[in-house]
Amino acid sequence: MQVGSVNAWAVAGIAAAVGAAIGGGSALLEASLRPWQVGDFSGEMLAPSNADAAEADVPETRHDFGTVGAGGKGSHEFVIHNRGNATLTLTRGATSCSCTVSDFDSTDGGDEGGRKEVPPDGSTRLRLTWKGKGTGGPFRQQATVFTNDPRRPEIAFVIEGTVVPTWKAIPDRLVLSKLSASSGEQASLRIFTYGSEPPTFEQLEAADPETAQFFSLSTAPLDAAEIAAETGATGGVLLKVGVLPGLPLGQLRQTLRATVRIPEEIQLEVPVEGTVGGDLALAGGGWDSSRQALLLGSVSGRKGSRTQVFLMAKGPHRSSVKPAVGEVVPASLVVEVGEGVPVGSGGTVRIPISISIPPGSPPANHRCSPQAPAGRIVLETGHPDTPTLTIPVCVAIDP
């Protein structure tokens, strides 16, 4: 073999190697620069075929409620079909905080503990329920379902929309600052609604039965100009509140409640608060004027305790006030009423009231909490405008 021939073959080999390297590098560069497209790989490459596998088919996974009134509820059913040849197993997964997933429903039976089996060619429905919260704005909630479909192990269902207000009260609470046991008071507030029709009041009441008899309620339509000035409002009424004489002295807590159609039915609640004054008032040790209660605190049942308050009577009927004890809770309280004494120029009469817990009293819990309601001392006063005075008592008698 000649040297020239050898060199020619060597050059050809080197050229072929370089060409292959350059070609492979070009292919690699092209693959790295070109993003994957749907369809680049066949389904068989993503998951092996299985003639006996379940196959979840869901026509839709998203639903738009549009607008939902604040406090209102919306629900939607998603359908899940099994197009495979094996039983489809569905398990409820996590949901967002405001979204509730009901049990699966199917002609083949309901679910058991959040798990559902759907036979081939069968189907089930998944209901998502959502309640509008807050005063308004967009929402998006999601619920997840796990499956045994190897191609679709997890399905996310989404519901979305916008919360709109259904009603608004101006002011949002009624504060009665001039309440008196001997005289009434008038107040009002405006209620705007956002339904497709003007509001129709089906029920209007003072919710707390203890003072409901002292409230008279009525409504009158608002002028069209007032409604138009409130952005988005479609109707409105003026709620008139009349407070009758005779309310018990102390703090007032009431709720005005209404059932209204706009045309869907909605519930309205407006809180009412105030302090009822009059010719009678309490003062002295343990009396908390801000809470309008007698605070005796925790008392040892073995040692007992004693405190004193004063009933102050003024006005033209002050001399006729002769308190008598009508009821005491807890029963171990001993209440003694002394003689009234004029104070200063005689415009006010001060009547001492002694409250004692004798040693050896049984345990009691009246801490003025939801779990331990206040005790009370009920006095028959003899005053024509405030014939009965109830004194809340916050006390716990320990063993």
Rounded distance between C-alpha atoms, residue 48 and residue 53, angstroms: 10
Is residue 115's pLDDT more than 50? Answer: yes
Domain ranges across the chain: 56-164, 167-276, 280-398
Other Cβ atoms less than 10 A from the Cβ of 113: the count is: 8
Mean pLDDT for 323-336 is: 95
Task: Give the model's pLDDT for residue 10.
Answer: 47
Of 385 and 100, the structure prediction assigns the larger pLDDT to: 385
Task: Give the model's pLDDT for residue 173.
Answer: 93
Task: Give the model's pLDDT for residue 292.
Answer: 81
Is residue 274's pLDDT more than 70? Answer: yes
Q: What residues contact residue 394 under an 8 Å CB cut-off, 6+ apart?
A: 291, 293, 294, 295, 296, 297, 366, 367, 368, 374, 375
Per-residue pLDDT tens digits for 136-174: 678 888 888 999 999 999 999 988 888 778 898 999 999
Rounded distance between C-alpha atoms, residue 113 and residue 77, angstroms: 19
Of 3 and 111, the structure prediction assigns the larger pLDDT to: 111
Confidence of residue 68 (pLDDT cuts 50, 70, 90): confident
Confidence of residue 18 (pLDDT cuts 50, 70, 90): very low
Other Cβ atoms less than 10 A from the Cβ of 210: the count is: 12
Of 364 and 97, the structure prediction assigns the larger pLDDT to: 364
Per-residue pLDDT tens digits for 26-39: 433 343 334 333 32
Surface-to-core class of residue 22, CB atoms within 10 Å of its CB (0-12 exposed, 13-18 middle, 19+ buried): exposed
Task: Give the model's pLDDT for residue 112.
Answer: 55
Other Cβ atoms less than 10 A from the Cβ of 355: the count is: 22
Of 19 and 55, the structure prediction assigns the larger pLDDT to: 55
Is residue 9's pLDDT more than 60? Answer: no
Per-residue pLDDT tens digits for 200-234: 999 999 999 989 999 999 999 999 999 999 888 89
User: 226, 170 in Cβ contact below 8 A?
Assistant: no
Per-residue pLDDT tens digits for 306-328: 999 999 999 899 999 999 999 99
| CATH architecture of the domain covering 280-398 | Sandwich (2.60)
Of 73 and 149, the structure prediction assigns the larger pLDDT to: 149
Is residue 52's pLDDT more than 60? Answer: yes
Q: Name the residue type at position 87.
A: T
What's the CA dihedral at 236, 237, 238, 241 to 10 degrees? -130
Confidence of residue 388 (pLDDT cuts 50, 70, 90): confident
Is residue 195's pLDDT more than 50? Answer: yes
Mean pLDDT for all residues in the chain: 82
Answer positive or negative: Cα dihedral of 346, 352, 353, 355.
positive
Q: Check for a shared fold between 167-276 and 280-398.
A: yes
Of 395 and 266, the structure prediction assigns the larger pLDDT to: 395
Q: What 3-state class would DSSP assign to 132?
A: coil
CATH topology (fold) of 167-276: Immunoglobulin-like (2.60.40)
CATH (one of 1.10.1370.30, 2.40.440.10, 3.40.50.300, 2.60.40.10) for 56-164: 2.60.40.10
User: 377, 355 in Cβ contact below 8 A?
Assistant: yes
- Global pTM reads 0.51
Answer positive or negative: Cα dihedral of 342, 317, 384, 368.
negative
Instruction: Give start and end residues of each alpha helix (H) in the chain.
Output: 3-33, 43-46, 224-229
Lowest mean pLDDT among 134-138, 343-347, 393-397: 134-138
User: 42, 79 in Cβ contact below 8 A?
Assistant: no
Q: Which residues does residue 366 pair with via DSSP β-bridges, in sequence order?
A: 395
Rounded distance between C-alpha atoms, residue 234 and residue 123, angstroms: 43
Q: Name the residue type at position 392.
A: P
